[in-house]
A and B are shown apart, each in its own frame.
Chain A
Amino acid sequence: MQRPASPDHRGDIVNDNGGGNIFMTLFTPNSGIDAVRSQFCLNDNPRMPCSPAANDRLNFAARSRHPNGVQASMCDGSVSFVANNIALNVWQAMSTMNGGETVSQ
């Protein structure tokens, strides 16, 4: 498969640049406007809007092509489908290490 020409590297699998294979939980899934390095922000995909990051404050939301949520992989190797309308506090708690919370799916 030919690599797309866009320099926007969000969603790349083998790329440890910010937004490649990781996401952050400042915004709930498929929400927010990512803050990316200005050279890479083309806004050529309406599903992943971006704006230039100020002073390297990068931010990348979890994104998908699913209509209602994202498949998120956890550090224990499990994969969970998370709805776009998940509560922000639950989403952020899931992204911390020692909360001990259980999340119903």
Chain B
Amino acid sequence: MAGDEHDERRRNGEPVRAKDCIWLILLVLCGCGSGDGAADVSGEVTLDGQPLTDGVIHFMPVDGKSRTASTFVRDGHFQTRVPLGKQRVEISCVKAQPLRPGQAADSATGAEIVPAKYNTKSELHADVNNGANKLRFELSGK
């Protein structure tokens, strides 16, 4: 096999060929991760002044020309990579409700505690730029 022959030459102390170097360079370039058109976004979410304990945050491109990004909000903090550009932001926190007696498990639902103006009818936006983006969302439960 070609691979065995290759290894054989290595062991015999033959120099690394130019072709091998090119593969190595390509691998290194692929590893940089800066060419994905996205940036690090982190920040805080409060609801009525208290950190949002357990929720989700979504970033949807306003122009529709990139992918979406979502992550969990834990103890008021979130961190993810988001495509560059203007994003519609949706923040949600749903509390699971216990099943009522006799209710089928597959009909279980939850209650949203974040007002619709921050999720289904969101008025929140964020501009994501190159570099580290720090965002802070102070939500009101009313």
Residues of A within 8 A of B (CB): 7, 17, 26-28, 31-33, 35, 37-41, 49, 51-57, 84-90, 92
A54: contacting residue among B67, B68, B107, B111, CB under 8 A? B111
Considering the complex, give the chain A residue whose CB is closest to the CB of B111. Answer: A54
Query: Assuming A28-B67, A52-B110, A54-B110, is B72 touching A33 (CB within 8 A)?
Result: yes
- Contact at B70–A52, with CB atoms within 8 Å? no
B105: contacting residue among A39, A53, A54, CB under 8 A? A39
- Contact at B70–A27, with CB atoms within 8 Å? yes
Is B108 an interface residue, CB under 8 A from the partner? yes
- Contact at B58–A39, with CB atoms within 8 Å? no
19 pairs across A/B with beta carbons < 8 Å? A7-B105, A17-B106, A31-B67, A37-B105, A37-B109, A38-B94, A38-B96, A51-B55, A51-B72, A51-B92, A54-B92, A54-B112, A85-B83, A86-B67, A88-B65, A88-B68, A89-B64, A89-B65, A92-B64
- Contact at B94–A52, with CB atoms within 8 Å? yes
A86 CB to nearest chain B CB (Å): 7
A34 CB to nearest chain B CB (Å): 9
Q: Bound complex: CA of A67 vs CA of B83, how far in Å?
A: 18
- Contact at B109–A33, with CB atoms within 8 Å? no
Query: Assuming A31-B67, A85-B36, is B97 touching A38 (CB within 8 A)?
Result: yes
Within 8 A of A (CB), among B98-126: 99, 105-112, 120
Residues of B within 8 A of A (CB): 36-37, 55-56, 58, 60-61, 63-72, 83, 92, 94-97, 99, 105-112, 120
- Contact at B64–A88, with CB atoms within 8 Å? yes
Q: Bound complex: CA of A32 vs CA of B55, how far in Å?
A: 13
Q: Bound complex: CA of A56 vs CA of B106, how far in Å?
A: 11
A residues near B92, Cβ cutoff 8 Å: 51, 54
Query: Assuming A33-B58, A38-B109, is B66 touching A54 (CB within 8 A)?
Result: no
